[in-house]
Homo-oligomer: A and B are copies of this chain.
Amino acid sequence: MKNAKISNAVINRLPRYRRYLIELEKKGVEKISSKDFSSLIGYTASQIRQDLNNFGGFGQQGYGYSVTGLREEIDAILGLDKEYRMVIMGAGNLGQAITKYAKSLPAGFRVCGVFEVRKELIGTKLDGLEIHDYENIVDFVEREKIDIGIICVNRDSAQEVADRLCFAGVKGIWNFARVDIEVPPHVALEVVQLSDSLHALAYHMNDIKKRSHHGK
Interface residues of A (CB under 8 A from B): 3, 6, 8, 11-12, 14-16, 18-19, 23, 42, 77-80, 82, 84, 92-94, 96-98, 100-101, 103-106, 109, 147-148, 155, 171-172, 174, 178-180, 185-212, 214
Contacts and interface: CB of A to CB of B under 8 A. Distances in A.
B103 A100 contact: no
Copies of this protein, total: 2
Contacts of A78: 199-200, 202-203, 206
B15 A199 contact: yes
A82 B203 CA distance: 11
A59 B172 CA distance: 39
A135 B47 CA distance: 41
Contacts of A202: 78-80, 82, 84, 172
A19 B178 contact: yes
- Residue of A80, A97, A210 contacting most chain B CB atoms (<10 Å): A97
A42 B182 CA distance: 12
A23 to B, nearest CB: 8
Given A148-B205, A172-B202, A174-B201, 4 more contacts: A3-B214, A16-B180, A80-B202, A186-B212
A100 B98 CA distance: 9
A11 B197 contact: no
A201 to B, nearest CB: 4
A148 B190 contact: no
Contacts of A207: 6, 188
Nearest to A179: B19
B109 A104 contact: no
A5 to B, nearest CB: 8
Contacts of A19: 178-180, 196
B109 A101 contact: no
Contacts of A203: 11, 14, 77-79
